Structure 1
Amino acid sequence: MEFAWRGRLDQAPDQAVEDQTPRRKEARALLGDMLRPYRKQLIWLALVVLVENAARLSVPRLVQIGIDHGLPPLMRGGSSSNLVTVVVILCVAVLLQAVSRMYFLQKSGWIGQHVLLDLRRRVYRHFQKLDVRFHDRYTSGRVVSRSTNDVEAIQELLEDGFDSLITAALTLVGTAILLVTLNVRLGLVCLISFPLLVALSAWFRRESSKTYRVVRETAALVIVQFVETMTGIKAVQAYRRQPRNQEIFKDVADRYRTINERIFRIVAIFMPTVKLIGNLTTAAVLLFGGWLALHGHMTIGVLAAFLLYLRMFFEPMQDITQFFNTFQSATSALEKLAGVLAEKPGIADPDRPVTLEKVDGAIQFDDVHFGYVDDRPVLPGLTLDIPAGQTVALVGTTGAGKTTIAKLMARFYDPTSGRILLDGVDVRALTQDALRQDVVMVTQENFMFEGSVADNIRFGRPDASDEQIRAAASAVGADQFIELLPQGFDTDVAKRGGRLSAGQRQLVAFARAFLADPKVLILDEATSSLDIPSERLVQRALETVLADRTALIIAHRLSTVEVADRVLVLEQGRVLEDGSPADLIGSSDGRYAALHDAWVSSLA
């Protein structure tokens, strides 16, 4: 892990960003696709926003009318009807603004949460569809970052960002028009500051755009490092890696702090400058407007309205600043999510899948070539025929290709060339669900999910009854230890099955596979975690588990191999020996005979 992290950390954040393929088009398409089902609601919300802002912008104008046309009659001892009328209209405008605002917040919140729900479901569903090869290179920390940190950035944009932008834009345009229409000369004085604000906003958008993309990258690195360290905490503590991991995390966190400080410096320049321009403009308007009012070129009401509108004009700048921050963060997050969603599964279902009415379990490898890395073949051309119902053990040194054969059979990978057949049908012609209903793989590291023992046994068959679960556990001999647990089958296995021993977890995995009742069962080092008593228990259960089904057994413990009908000795992806265990043991100069003799000597 250290070498990978050093490479990432030695790369400058800005360079890391530039090296990434731009996905802005995909990000925009993703956002449009998520919002498309709510087009009618969004149009209605746009109208509501227009009403809300119209009502809000009418307040200074009503104040001006009240001062200029409502107060003079009262000062002359006349009727108050004009002022009362203005006050009533003002109250209606304020009430309309409040009601439309409440409606907008509720409806936009509803749309935002449904969009986020759809996004989370898409990301989760797509991560599950992506093949094992993708997950081998895409770390769990990055998965967590995409589904939490990036989704939260988009949530912030949907909740506050667009609302702030729309309100700010309408306010700026509306107040600019009203300032000019109230008094052209004074309006032009106000608009003198507009080019300065445009230039300042352009600078802020440019700088924040560059910086926030790096913020997302460094935030993801913090999450990735934290998740991967905590996931492997046992190895970290066992090998005393805490100081080194702390050093790496300190480096990542320090870069995150540095880039955030850059954001604060940009905001520290932008916001005070906007306020300075606003205050200077207000002073100029007050000075020039006072002179106009003093000489009878403007009423006091218009001057008051000008000052109120001027305050409205500069207030949205802070909202625009916040929107830029939110928008840049969400854009970067959306690009990453769009990049993930654009990933095509390496293992795909056919357009016209073949349906097997009845699966017997016959397996054929027809000149299969495969390698995890180009130019480094693991299987250089394997041809193999396994009749239905036969139990075949694969033995050989590490790297001989045993587990690769199992993964190809379960279609976690597809061969580079050649075919893998199930009952004469290429497995690529079957849907993955159909294939894995009849081909189940049990490994030495079967994952236990949080929940009860019963929940973990019925994992591959959710509709199984309690009686069927107990029968499956009994068939593999797991019922004996399960009944001794505090709540029996209802006992919570804790995180990753931490309440169970390695051997107990393996027995639960056997029960899970037995309950799924596949026609082809693959056991990849499935007894390696068992102690001698547990292994003997499993050996007796294997006859029941393997009955009437095809089985591939990969094991270094030759005691497991003894239940096989046939043994294949592999070396560098090629079959060196093929025969029954007894026949191969009888060959004094054979590879399997030597392995068997070494195993017997180790027992002595």
Structure 2
Amino acid sequence: MAKSTEQVKKSRHLKRFHYTVDQAIEKQFNWKQMLRLLEYLKPYSKTYLPGAIIAMLVSTLVRLAVPILIGKVAIDVAIGNQDYGLLTYLVVIIGVLYLLNYVGNIYRIKWVNILGQNVIYDLRQHLFSHVQRLSHRFFDSRSAGSILVRIMNDINSLQELFTNGIINLLMDVVTLVGIVVILFVLSPELALAIMIILPIMFYISTKLRRNIRRSWQDVRIQQSRLNSHLNESIQGIRITQSFSQEKENAEFFNGINFDNFESWRTATKKSALFRPFVEMSNAIGTIILITFGAYLIINGVIDIGIFVSFAFLIGMFWEPISRLGQMYNQLLMAMAASERIFEFLDEQPNVDEKDNAYEFTDMKGHIEFDKVQFSYDADRVALHEISLDIKEGQTIALVGHTGSGKSTIANLISRFYDPTNGTVKIDGHNLRDVRLNTLRQQISVVLQDTFIFSGTIMENIRFGQPTATDEEVMEAAKVVGADEFIKRLADGYETEVEERGNILSAGERQLLSFARALLANPRILILDEATASIDTETEVQIQAALKKLLKGRTAIIIAHRLSTIRGSDTIYVLEHGKILEYGSHQWLMESKGEYFDLVKSQFQMLDVI
């Protein structure tokens, strides 16, 4: 039977997100993880946190004292004995207490908000800094949208917990304990009768706990998928419009958006179950108070003042119970988010740095590959025991069909990955033994897909060397030939470019990347298809600039356009992760091997064109 349109869309929807790693984290709710989260409060344990706790205690004690003063003192003593002087005195005291409560609440709200915002700032900064240090393998298996959700949405969901939740939790617990103690002191019989409903509430909340928590985990997963698709759709909008797939894309988004809507609806529906149970408990408690309390008054066991105090305190009792139910839901949301945050924070770089790694200074640029083998996964070997010896100052080229291992060699030199077997050395230093930042500071990589950051032209070039002066930036641009087109822009070097530099042509973006690399003054320069997006006229200009750029530096050029590598000292021809042949352009052409066939096929294509 043929599939319906909806079935096909659903199938495509599932396949499209098959790659995602954002799955439900099946862990038991544990307080160790919550304590780990609360460690972010430590820097403020001597400033805002004590102030907020003191202000909370003042407010709570005032609220607990007022019902006793009204019931026991005002009604039973002052009114019972018609002591109007005492009654007036009590009115003044209660007024002062409420003023104190007002001031305490102001400072509590102020300090907990400052505390919460600082904790959220620290947590987001910690997560972002950690993600920046992770290896390329981490980003290979995750979409940008899923990472964005962790850093933004998941941390935002903790904001309420830190700004109000923790202090409110303490306040409610202190209030409840205080109320229970006072109730049992005033009348153990009446207190015990009212508290009989609590075990039922505890049983119900325990049953709901796991179900609610999984629902909020699902919300986070659906948000991650929604953000992933949004990121993909926005970046690929030109392709979408080119193939007139706007309607299809909108329908696909509707499916993901509906899944997100359903996850929120389910989670909020389950979370909302708690409050009605609290209100029902409140109603039952009030009925018990009226019926049993009246019985105790009639039989002379308690006074009317105690009954009034009970009425005040019972009204206060169910309010924190209700808030604790909401707080529990909030805690479940926070735990679902924190599990995902800590999953990233617990992720360790595949390319790790040894504790005793040393500073790699004064690099010369002598690169050695000693029987290097590398695999991206168990089923795909990218390099088979490659051995290379690139002398200081040499320019070598890597050519071969797509997937032959050219870019993998470049990635190993920058130590974005570690070889599966064998060693990579620079100036005799095993790259596993040196500090990563001192290695990469002396290597510049220019890719085919140049990334331009939001900001000015000047700032984008200076990214290669943040301490460079304006004059040094302009000089680098002049050397690579970028100065000419920059001056034609409305504001020259101060022209603002949007994300990915869409106002610039592909060739202009590539020239900026050359200027950025030159400004960094590297000892090793890697050009990975760096001239692929440049027209022939610009390429001639780049070739002239490269002679200055490559002088005195070790260079690795990866190119399909063989015209750009003729001047290389050595050309290595790769196929399926193996070196087929190597030598100068002239020698390889005379040998009439694989390189000769590559050149011949390329020029035949040009003749056809």
TM-score range, shorter chain: over 0.9
Aligned residue runs from structure 1 range 107-506, under 5 A: 107-294=111-298, 296-506=300-510
- Structure 2 vs 1, CA of residues 543 and 256 (structure 1 numbering), >3 Å: closer, same or farther? same
Distance 2:355 2:216 in 1: 42
Q: Deviations over 1:42-94 (max 9, x none)?
A: 455444433321111111111111122222444xxxx5221122122212322
- Structure 2 vs 1, CA of residues 188 and 595 (structure 1 numbering), >3 Å: closer, same or farther? closer
Matched, 1:39 2:36: no
**In structure 1, what residue type is equivalent to 2:145?**
G
Asked if 2 retains the 8 angstrom alpha-carbon contact of 1:216 and 1:329, the reply is: no
Distance 1:179 1:492 in 2: 68
The 4+ residue runs of structure 1 with deviation greater than 6 A are 1-4, 8-11
Alpha-carbon deviation of 1:208?
2.0
**In structure 2, what residue type is equivalent to 1:70?**
A
Q: Deviations over 1:111-156 (max 9, x none)?
A: 2222111111111101100011111112101110000111011112
Q: Deviations over 1:19-64 (max 9, x none)?
A: x566957733531432233334545544443332111111111111
Please name the residue that 1:590 is paired with. Answer: 593
Asked if 2 retains the 8 angstrom alpha-carbon contact of 1:523 and 1:552, the reply is: yes
Of 574, 592, 606, 1:603 maps to: 606
Partner SS state of residue 377, structure 1? strand
Distance 1:267 1:442 in 2: 52
Distance 1:208 1:3 in 2: 28
**In structure 2, what residue type is equivalent to 1:117?**
Y
Asked if 1 retains the 8 angstrom alpha-carbon contact of 2:112 and 2:164, the reply is: no
- Structure 2 vs 1, CA of residues 189 and 23 (structure 1 numbering), >3 Å: closer, same or farther? closer
Matched, 1:53 2:57: no
Alpha-carbon deviation of 1:264?
3.8
Q: Deviations over 1:490-542 (max 9, x none)?
A: 11111211111110000000000011110110000000011121111111111
Asked if 2 retains the 8 angstrom alpha-carbon contact of 1:70 and 1:80, the reply is: yes
Alpha-carbon deviation of 1:194?
2.4
Q: TM-score, normalised by structure 2?
A: 0.92
**In structure 2, what residue type is equivalent to 1:519?**
R
Distance 1:3 1:361 in 2: 52
Distance 2:272 2:40 in 1: 35
Q: Deviations over 1:537-586 (max 9, x none)?
A: 11111111111111111111122112322211111222222211122223
Matched, 1:28 2:31: no
- Structure 2 vs 1, CA of residues 602 and 254 (structure 1 numbering), >3 Å: closer, same or farther? closer
Asked if 2 retains the 8 angstrom alpha-carbon contact of 1:506 and 1:527, the reply is: yes
Please name the residue that 2:4 is paired with. Answer: none
Asked if 2 retains the 8 angstrom alpha-carbon contact of 1:140 and 1:227, the reply is: yes
Partner SS state of residue 489, structure 2? coil
Please name the residue that 2:79 is paired with. Answer: 71
Distance 2:32 2:368 in 1: 41
Distance 1:540 1:26 in 2: 62
Asked if 1 retains the 8 angstrom alpha-carbon contact of 2:53 and 2:167, the reply is: no
**In structure 2, what residue type is equivalent to 1:420?**
V
**In structure 1, what residue type is equivalent to 2:147?**
V
- Structure 2 vs 1, CA of residues 391 and 4 (structure 1 numbering), >3 Å: closer, same or farther? farther
Distance 1:382 1:566 in 2: 15
- Structure 2 vs 1, CA of residues 338 and 92 (structure 1 numbering), >3 Å: closer, same or farther? same
Unaligned runs of 5+ in 2: 1-8
Asked if 2 retains the 8 angstrom alpha-carbon contact of 1:212 and 1:325, the reply is: no
- Structure 2 vs 1, CA of residues 29 and 562 (structure 1 numbering), >3 Å: closer, same or farther? farther
- Structure 2 vs 1, CA of residues 102 and 472 (structure 1 numbering), >3 Å: closer, same or farther? same
**In structure 2, what residue type is equivalent to 1:62?**
L
**In structure 2, what residue type is equivalent to 1:154?**
L
Q: Deviations over 1:320-362 (max 9, x none)?
A: 1211121001101111111101111111223223344432211
Alpha-carbon deviation of 1:365?
0.7
Alpha-carbon deviation of 1:371?
1.4
Distance 2:32 2:338 in 1: 9
- Structure 2 vs 1, CA of residues 407 and 114 (structure 1 numbering), >3 Å: closer, same or farther? same
Asked if 2 retains the 8 angstrom alpha-carbon contact of 1:49 and 1:167, the reply is: yes
Asked if 2 retains the 8 angstrom alpha-carbon contact of 1:30 and 1:338, the reply is: no
Asked if 2 retains the 8 angstrom alpha-carbon contact of 1:23 and 1:339, the reply is: no
Which piece of structure 1 moves more, 53-62 or 104-113?
A: 104-113
**In structure 1, what residue type is equivalent to 2:606?**
L
**In structure 2, what residue type is equivalent to 1:30?**
R
**In structure 2, what residue type is equivalent to 1:594?**
D
Distance 1:600 1:202 in 2: 74
Please name the residue that 1:17 is paired with. Answer: 24
Partner SS state of residue 17, structure 1? coil
Alpha-carbon deviation of 1:9?
6.7
- Structure 2 vs 1, CA of residues 520 and 488 (structure 1 numbering), >3 Å: closer, same or farther? same
Which piece of structure 1 moves more, 253-262 or 37-46?
A: 37-46
Distance 1:304 1:26 in 2: 42
Matched, 1:106 2:92: no
Of 543, 547, 554, 2:551 maps to: 547
Please name the residue that 1:6 is paired with. Answer: 14
- Structure 2 vs 1, CA of residues 403 and 283 (structure 1 numbering), >3 Å: closer, same or farther? same
**In structure 2, what residue type is equivalent to 1:569?**
V
- Structure 2 vs 1, CA of residues 347 and 520 (structure 1 numbering), >3 Å: closer, same or farther? same
Aligned residue runs from structure 1 range 507-526, under 5 A: 507-526=511-530
Alpha-carbon deviation of 1:279?
2.1
Distance 1:130 1:344 in 2: 7
- Structure 2 vs 1, CA of residues 395 and 263 (structure 1 numbering), >3 Å: closer, same or farther? closer
> What's the RMSD between the two structures over aligned residues?
2.5
**In structure 2, what residue type is equivalent to 1:477?**
G
Partner SS state of residue 138, structure 1? coil
- Work out the percentage of aligned pairs sharing the same amino acid: 36
Unaligned runs of 5+ in 1: none
- Structure 2 vs 1, CA of residues 401 and 29 (structure 1 numbering), >3 Å: closer, same or farther? farther
Aligned residues: 596
- Structure 2 vs 1, CA of residues 490 and 395 (structure 1 numbering), >3 Å: closer, same or farther? same
Alpha-carbon deviation of 1:391?
0.8
